[in-house]
Structures are given as C-alpha cells and as structure tokens.
A and B are shown apart, each in its own frame.
Chain A
Amino acid sequence: MFKNPINLVFDQLTKQLNEPSWLQTKRQQALKNFQTLGLPTRKSELWKYTDVKRLERLEDVTDIAEGDEHFVFTINSELPKDTGMLNITEVDENSWIDLTFDKKDDKERVFVELNTVMLNSGFELTIPANSKLKLHIQYQQVTADWENIRTVIHVGESAQLDLTESYDYDCRINHVSIINAQNNSRLKLQSHKLLAKTAALIHYTKINCGENVAIEQCTSNNNAYLSHSIQDVDFKGEHSSFKTASINVVHNSCHIAENVQTNHVVGNCKSEVIKRSLATDKGQVALNAKAVVSVGADGSDVAQSLKNILLSDDAKIYSRPELEINTDDVIAAHGSTIGELDEMSLTYLRSRGIPKEQAKFMLIESFLQDANIFKAEDFLDRIEL
C-alpha cells in the first residue's frame, strides 16, 4: 500500500481516469487529509493492538484471474428495474457523501481518506420505498495492487434489504460502505470475510438509521494477515434497533480487529453487539464494542456480549466492551470473558465415548453458534476451525 510514494500513485491514477473534476478535487482533498493525519499508531484506540506495519509487509497479489470480464465486484442477483444503480465514479456531485469525523476519531478512520484518494470501484444503489431486494455481492481482487471500493446503499422507506457480501479469499481490499436505512426499513446483512492467511481487508462501515428501522447483521471473520474493521452506527430516529453478531476465528499469525460503535443520538433505540472469538497458534483478535448514549437519549437499550476462547498459549485476544452513558433512563448490559474450553464439559463428553478432538470441536461449535443469529445451517461450513 505504501511501496510507492503516495503522490506518484495518485498522479498516475488520476491521469488514467476519465472522471469529473469535482471527484478529482475530492481525491486531492482526501490526499491532503491523509498526509496531515498520517497512519494510525498504537496510540489510536482502535489500532492499539493492530500493527499497521503489517500492511507494508504484504506482497502484491500475484494470482489474479486473467480475462476482461473481471470486475472488482459482481452482483449475483437480478436487480429490479426501478432499483437505481450507478458506478461510484459516475455519481452526481450532490449525491457524494463526505464522511467527516470528530477530531479524536479521524486518525483512526484515516483509511477512509485513502480510499477516496485511490478509489477505483464501487456503486451507489438506491432501493425504492416499499420494495424488497435480495442481493449477493462478491468483492474481487482484479489487480495486483489494492482495490479501493466504495459502496453506498440507500434503503428507501419501508423497504426490505437482504444483503450478503463476501470477499475474495486472497484479497487486498480497502472497503468503505455507507448504508442509509430510511424510516421503517428492514435490513438483514450478512458478511463473509473468510480470508487467506496472506490477505488484507480494511473495512469502514457507516450505518445511518432512521425511525423504526430494524437491522440485523451477522459477520464471520476467518484469518487474514490483517483484517481491520470499524463500524459506526448512528441512530437518528427513535424506535430503531441494530443487532450485530460476529464470529472471529484466527490461526497462525493472523490478526482480526473488529470495532463497532453505536451512537444513540436519540432515545428509545436498541443496540446489541454479540461477538464470539477463538484464537489459536499465534493468532490475535482485538475487539472493541462501544455504545455512546447522548444526553437526553432516554429509553436507550444497549447490550454487549463479548466472549472469547484462547486455544494456545501464544494466541492473544483483547476484548473491550465500553459504555458511555450520558443520560439516566437507560438499560445497559455488557460483559466480556476470555477463557479456555471448559475442562469439565470436555471430560463429560469424553466420558460418554466422544474422542477428545471431537469433543473439543463440539464445544467450539456450540460456542460460536451463539453468534448464528440467522440460524444458518452452513454457518460454520467454510470456516477453518
């Protein structure tokens, strides 16, 4: 990502692209921001346990599929006629969404700037009010270098979206997702980040919830040399709920960092974060779940459940649930545990004739199933356990 001086990369990129000047201006501004902010360090809360230098150590992807018909993303579903879909570099200037952050947050989210600088693919999708859409999107690695993808999805009022996203096994992707869920919409979001031990994925997600919105999200993270995600969820209308569950399973020297922040700007919304993580070998998992309840956001309900199992002495898990509550009338529950597989349970299973490895597997499976909120039968099928 940093092998070439960034200005040079940028010059090359903009010369090649036949794009409107406003977008070039955005890129230049983003470049300035990126240069001012610099890369996150261990002092940045959301990068405390993640070594950014891992990105430098990545080799380019060599194993790229040949052929013209390869796109950075493919949509494996039919889009209804009235669904608006634009290539991200062809959107109208007015519909471009600038992501701006508080001073204390912007350095941690600096890869959003880099994404704008290097942006090479993505889309803006508008789902009309009262409609239903089921989508499967696959993000692919088509160049030897990083893919910088930006996706924007507007879910219209009372619309329903069932979205599954997956990523190429051995990818270098910097993905920025923006989801605007308008009043009364229902979203079911699934994400499969089942990656090679050499892969890298930097993912920033912004979710805006209108009134009476219900979002359920289930993510599986498996391996990657570095998989880092930040998710900001803003409640902007009352009576909305956001439930997110994820599993994180790492082996070898893989590193997964997952950060989710729910902002209860208005009252009477519910956020629930469930994370189940498992680390073996020298694998690392760094988790942060933060709920911020603003002054006056009464009737907020926040829950965080982070449970972690270490299967080796060298594995590391950092798990941090955090509540920042600035009002009185709030229901809050949070918990974080790090442990090993329960010896008593293991012994009990074995005492009925189940071999040790199988018994361990059964306990691991049941542990991870807590996060299977959609009750998918194939929930653990492609995961290296």
Chain B
Amino acid sequence: MNKEKKMLKINNIHAQVGDNKILKGLNLEIKPGEVHAIMGPNGAGKSTLGNVLAGMDKVEVTEGSVDFLGKDLLDLEIEERAAEGIFLAFQYPVEIPGVNNMYFLRAALNAQRKYRGEPEINSSVFLKLVREKIKMMNMRDDLLRRPVNEGFSGGEKKRNEIFQMSILEPKLAILDETDSGLDIDALKIVADGVNQLRNQDRSFIVITHYQRLLDYIVPDFVHVLADGKIVRSGDKSLAIELEETGYGWLEDGLNK
C-alpha cells in the first residue's frame, strides 16, 4: 500500500434531498489500495454517501468538500467522475429496456477512454475482454445479449454491476449492498471478482449490513455511519462486534 498518497478526502460533507438533511458533517479519508467497509442502520445515509460521490443529481451538497486524486470531485459531472475512476455499484440497478448490455458497456468503456485521451477499443479486443471477465464472474453470457438489467433476477443484477466494474477497472469502487440478495455461491463469486481487482492503486468502499461479506473481502477499516456521520471506526473486529451487539448502543450514545 502506498501510505503517502491520498485517494479520497471527504471533508465535513453536509447533504440533503429536498429539505431532508441526510449527511451531517461526514469525514472520511481513503488511501490507494485500502478497503473501507461502511455499516450502519437503515436510513443512516450510506447510499446517500455513495450517491454524493458518484454525483447523482438528486442529492444536494450544502457544505464540505471532496478531494479525489487532487481534483475537486463535487465540481465534476457524473460521467466525468466515472471517467476519473469512480464506480458505484448500485443498491438498486436500473433496468434499461432496449439498450443492449454489450453495446452499453462498450460505449461506456470507450467514452471513459476518450475522456482520458486513450484510443478507442475495437470490437474484437472488447469481445475478448468480455469473454475473459464473464468467465471470471461465472455469469451466463446470454445476459450480455439482453437489454441492460431487463428481467434480470436480483442476484443477476448485482453480479452485472461487478461485471461492469471488472471491465471498467475504476480507481475507487463503491459497492452499495452488493451482497444483499446474493446466494452463498454468488457471494463468493462477487467477492472473488472484487479481490481479483484489489491492488495497491485501487480502493473500495464496501457498504454492507452483514459481516459475512467481510469474511471474503477483508477490509482494512470498518466504519459505522449513523445519523449522517461516521460515529465509530475500527478494524475488521468492529464488524464482528456489531454482528453481536447490533446498533442499540447508538441510541444511548445519540440520546446523551
């Protein structure tokens, strides 16, 4: 791991949807190569954090800053953030009838390459890349010929997100409950997919409710997000502790 360089610095972020204040002064720093798990009760703001980083329009950032590899992330459009290396695996991937999965993915990859000043990838090279990754993800290849996520089962959608990630090779991947809805085999496959991409330059934010995923994707840090802030941080043992204690202790803390 590269201890000197910073990848992501989230500084005192406040964010809201409409009048609903969701993130209330959140801070987080991530270095290249690190895996950070984020846990916390329903409605705490975990997905909102992912949305803020990926640039979803609905969320409005009212205060704070995000530095991503030296750039002001909040200043960039959604697609620019993607091309800079941010990837959000959605908690609820969208179905897009009529847009073929392969066509979409190649358009995405080439758009990112163009943004970075790299040459376009031709279809045969792309096909080879896809074959390789789909094997790795143990995905049925007919899913690729279908429209994006249309009629996919819950688990297939999640796997498709990780498959996309493996093709796009982001610098920072945010996995929003990618484990929920997966059977045990699929969970291992998804975790393998992530682990194969782990390297000293690539970082992950893994949002999950279950420490089981963290047995496969072993995090460097575990954070508890509650009421729009990170209230506790620790190592993997924190996830094990949470599995036993739940979040009851938060109530006590917050009420004080």
Q: Which residues of A contact B (CB under 8 A)?
A: 342-345, 347-356, 358-359, 362-363, 366-367, 369-370
Contact = CB atoms under 8 A, between A and B. Distances in A.
B115 A348 contact: no
Contacts, number: 75
Nearest to B148: A348
A135 B54 CA distance: 53
20 contacts: A342-B96, A344-B94, A345-B96, A347-B56, A347-B78, A348-B96, A349-B104, A351-B55, A351-B82, A351-B90, A352-B82, A353-B83, A354-B79, A355-B79, A356-B77, A362-B99, A363-B96, A363-B99, A366-B98, A366-B147
B107 A354 contact: yes
Contacts of A359: 79
A227 to B, nearest CB: 25
B164 A352 contact: yes
Given A344-B94, A366-B99, A354 B54 contact: no
B88 A351 contact: yes
- Among B97, B109, B147, B164, the most chain A Cβ lie within 10 Å of the Cβ of B97
A353 B168 contact: yes
Interface residues of B, number: 30
Contacts of A370: 98
B79 A353 contact: yes
A156 to B, nearest CB: 39
Given A359-B79, A366-B97, 11 more contacts: A347-B57, A347-B94, A348-B90, A349-B104, A350-B78, A352-B79, A352-B82, A352-B164, A353-B108, A358-B107, A358-B111
Interface string B45-83: 000000000111100000000000000000001110011
B168 A350 contact: no
A132 to B, nearest CB: 33
The 7 A-B residue pairs whose C-beta atoms are closest, nearest first, are A366-B98, A353-B82, A352-B108, A353-B112, A348-B94, A350-B78, A350-B79
Interface string B87-107: 110100110111100001101
Contacts of B107: 354, 358, 362
A347 B168 CA distance: 17
A363 B115 CA distance: 21
Interface of B: 54-57, 77-79, 82-83, 87-88, 90, 93-94, 96-99, 104-105, 107-109, 111-112, 115, 147-148, 164, 168
B96 A352 contact: no
B104 A362 contact: yes
Contacts of B54: 351
B94 A345 contact: yes
Interface SS, A side: helix
Nearest to B78: A350
Contact of B115 (A349, A350, A353): A353
A197 B132 CA distance: 49
A248 to B, nearest CB: 17
A358 B87 CA distance: 19
B104 A350 contact: no
B168 A352 contact: yes
B202 to A, nearest CB: 16
Nearest to A356: B79
A345 to B, nearest CB: 5
Contacts of A352: 79, 82, 87, 104-105, 108, 112, 164, 168
B77 A350 contact: yes
Contacts of A366: 96-99, 147
Contacts of B109: 353
Contacts of B97: 366
A353 B107 CA distance: 9
A277 to B, nearest CB: 15
Contact of B108 (A342, A344, A347, A354): A354
A351 B98 contact: no
Contacts of A362: 99, 104, 107
B98 A367 contact: yes
A130 to B, nearest CB: 39
A137 B30 CA distance: 66
Nearest to A368: B98
A119 to B, nearest CB: 43
B73 to A, nearest CB: 14
B78 A351 contact: yes
Contacts of B82: 350-353
Contacts of B55: 351
Nearest to B105: A352
Nearest to A364: B98
Contacts of A353: 79, 82-83, 108-109, 111-112, 115, 168
A43 B23 CA distance: 57
Contacts of B147: 366
A363 B107 CA distance: 13
Contacts of A349: 96, 99, 104, 108
A353 B82 CA distance: 5
B90 to A, nearest CB: 7
Contacts of A354: 79, 104, 107-108, 111
A344 B93 CA distance: 10
Contacts of B88: 351
Contacts of B77: 350, 356
B111 A355 contact: yes
A177 to B, nearest CB: 31
- Among A342, A351, A366, the most chain B Cβ lie within 10 Å of the Cβ of A351
Contacts of A351: 54-56, 78-79, 82, 88, 90
A367 B99 CA distance: 9
A343 B164 CA distance: 20
Contacts of A369: 98
A347 B92 CA distance: 13
A283 to B, nearest CB: 22
Contacts of A347: 56-57, 78, 94
A362 B94 CA distance: 15
